Structure 1
Amino acid sequence: MSTEYSGTGDPARSLALLWRTRERASRKGRPDLTVDRIVRAAVDLADTEGLAALSMRRVAQTLGVGTMSLYTHVPGKGELLDVMVDTVHGELAPAEPPPGGWRARLEHVARTRWQLHLRHPWLLQVATTRPALGPHVIASYEHELRAVDGIGLTDLEMDAVVTLVTGYVHGAVRTAVEAAQAAGRTGLTEQQWWQAHAPYLEKALDARRFPLAARVGSAAGQQYQGATDPAHAFEFGLARILDGIEVLIRDRPGTRATGTDDR
């Protein structure tokens, strides 16, 4: 998969679009054509056909307008991508954090991001080390920081914990997305693939030559009915990460590292 980069558009124009501080009327006489409508069409296109299909021309075709009509509202693909990323981040941040302790809140952060990437798998192709500083991206960051606010971490540690959890999700969900795409493109579910290949894998995994791979691989395959179970791997890894965060704050005065505080 090719990688696109957020933050490649003109900064002033991108920020104007992200925060909707300026939206010009269409010179083509299309008052129904707005930034929001263009962005929604672009997100739908990326969701259904992948990021490789995204272009100003394809979005215009989807909307039934000329390509130049889009440039009246959106300067180019770089700025459009920034607004797309920000728009889907609007699905993350609820008005209030979920009840429970910091551990429950971080679990919620992780699972909502997991679901976001499953709905919009093209996000995995967008490098956001230079993030689109729109209202939804900032709101989601604020929400994620609230999950660990007041539990004894420094500001830098709060940022690092959020980065750790969201970065873990980004890596873990890739396997789930790839599995779903493989099923769609081959017409075989993971279970069907496993049933077809299991007899040959048993022959390849010679227990005398590969004793651990044969034993562990056989146990995992029987449990998962596939080569892997992305959801199980995600839950296992998330629990271990939260255990590590608990160790980080365990011995700090005035903190409750159990993750069951009433905040």
Structure 2
Amino acid sequence: MTRRDGTGATGVDPQQLWLSPGQSGRGRKPSFSREEITAAAVALADAEGLEAVTMRRVASRVGAGVMSLYSYAPDKETLLELMVDRVSGELPTADPFTGDWRTDLKAIGHHQRALMLRHPWLPAALHARRTLGPHTLAFLERALAALRPTRLDGAAKLEVFAQLTGFVAAHVAHEIAQATAAQSPDRAAAEARYLAAVAADGHHPELAEALSAPGRPLNPEATFTRFLNRLIDGLDTD
């Protein structure tokens, strides 16, 4: 499932991984399936974070030796590809469209956010992903179908989907970090005092004006919706 190019670098071979999903030829024949291995890795990442996912930890979860695990996932890079595609299978691909492509694209963004909040390791994993598995492709197909009413060409549609996914991943990563920071009141108070001091120093009048405006209630869903609306409503489809 991995390949080596002319420079000696290795990487996941998408055709072998997704179209020929047999054993890699490395390691002993396992007594469990690739799906079980991937499910164990996802459960581990959900519980302890992506950094906790090692071949040894996953093998322990499925009750196998590390060498037998290599038969279906020869390295962590391949395992990560399998994990991303497995959770992407939770995304809906058959709901009817509304007929308004912006509304439909916003729904796609909300589904992506919900998925990433269920699996907080996913935003980071997407940065390392190198290939598109069957579940990811199914959701991409839905996004492209949602964009069919626009005048965008194929390349532009792919760019819009990449832009949307990148925005959602970055927003959710920030959202998770903010939620973690909020658990430390002293840190939040120190940040507020610092910004107040900066706003009062006379060198940042625009920031001072912005901070003096009434704040909005802390509602992560509403904040995401505002940002998402600005992104999609501002898309140029001419």
TM-score of Structure 1 vs Structure 2, range by shorter chain = 0.7 to 0.9
Contact 2:175–2:220 (Cα < 8 Å) also in 1 = yes
Task: Give the 3 Å change call, closer, same or farther, for CA 124–196 of structure 1 in structure 2.
Answer: same
TM superposition shift of 1:60: 1.3
- Per-residue displacement from partner, 1:170-221 (whole Å, max 9, x unpaired)? 22222112123334xxx44xxx56874487357524546244423422435x
Query: Who is 1:76 aligned against?
Result: 75
Amino acid in the other structure paired with 1:43 = V
SS in 1 for 2:91: coil
Query: Who is 1:107 aligned against?
Result: 106
Large movers: runs of 4+ above 6 Å: 27-30
Structure 1: tracts of 5 or more residues without a match = 1-7, 250-263
2 CA distance for matches of 1:172 and 1:119? Answer: 14
TM superposition shift of 1:243: 2.2
Amino acid in the other structure paired with 2:207 = A
TM superposition shift of 1:167: 2.1
1 CA distance for matches of 2:76 and 2:51? Answer: 12
Task: Give the 3 Å change call, closer, same or farther, for CA 128–97 of structure 1 in structure 2.
Answer: farther
For these two proteins, the number of residue pairs brought into alignment is 229
2 CA distance for matches of 1:117 and 1:20? Answer: 28
- Larger RCO (CA under 8 A, 6+ residues apart): 1
Please, what TM-score do these two structures have when normalized by structure 2?
0.79
TM superposition shift of 1:83: 0.8
* Residues 28-107 of structure 1: pairs in structure 2 closer than 5 A: 31=31, 33-107=32-106
2 CA distance for matches of 1:156 and 1:17? Answer: 25
TM superposition shift of 1:156: 2.1
TM superposition shift of 1:63: 2.3
Query: Who is 1:223 aligned against?
Result: 216
C-alpha RMSD of matched pairs (Å): 3.3
Query: Who is 2:4 aligned against?
Result: none
Task: Give the 3 Å change call, closer, same or farther, for CA 130–76 of structure 1 in structure 2.
Answer: closer
Contact 2:29–2:68 (Cα < 8 Å) also in 1 = no
Query: Who is 2:193 aligned against?
Result: 200
% identity of equivalent residues = 35
* Residues 8-47 of structure 1: pairs in structure 2 closer than 5 A: 9-11=11-13, 15-19=15-19, 21-22=21-22, 31=31, 33-47=32-46
2 CA distance for matches of 1:199 and 1:89? Answer: 38
Amino acid in the other structure paired with 1:219 = A
Query: Who is 1:120 aligned against?
Result: 119
2 CA distance for matches of 1:199 and 1:156? Answer: 44
Please, what TM-score do these two structures have when normalized by structure 1?
0.72
2 CA distance for matches of 1:87 and 1:15? Answer: 17
2 CA distance for matches of 1:107 and 1:199? Answer: 32
